Amino acid sequence: MGTVLTIYSFAIIIYIFMSWVPSARETSIGRFLTNICEPYLEPFRKIIPPIGMIDISPIVALLVIRFASSYGLTGLYNMIVRFM
């Protein structure tokens, strides 16, 4: 599970860097990364507004992946329950 989350984290990082190059998302790799990254990033974008022109929601999304890979899904569940 940890390896899958690491690969997915790298995919999100590449997707973030591709946003700086307008034509990069039009390639087949760009469309593939859009299809696998946007469903995960979209809920974060709904909750966290951009600061100026900078979207920090992918950073929070990566931190959640990091937390889930370090502490497992049980730790993530406990954190959510604690905040409710």
18 near 24, Cβ under 8 Å?
yes
pLDDT tens string 16-34 = 999 889 898 899 999 999 9
Percentage with pLDDT > 90 across the chain = 51
pLDDT at residue number 58: 94
Neighbour count for residue 60 (Cβ, 10 Å)? 14
Closest to 67 in 3D by CA, of 57, 79, 58: 79
Cα Rg of the chain (Å, integer): 14
Range of the structural domain that residue 40 is part of: 2-83
Number of domains in the chain: 1
Q: Rounded CA gap, 52 and 49, in Å?
A: 9
pTM of the model: 0.78
Query: Strand pairing partners for 51?
Result: 54
- What DSSP character marks residue 54? B
pLDDT tens string 45-82 = 999 989 988 899 999 999 988 887 777 767 667 767 77
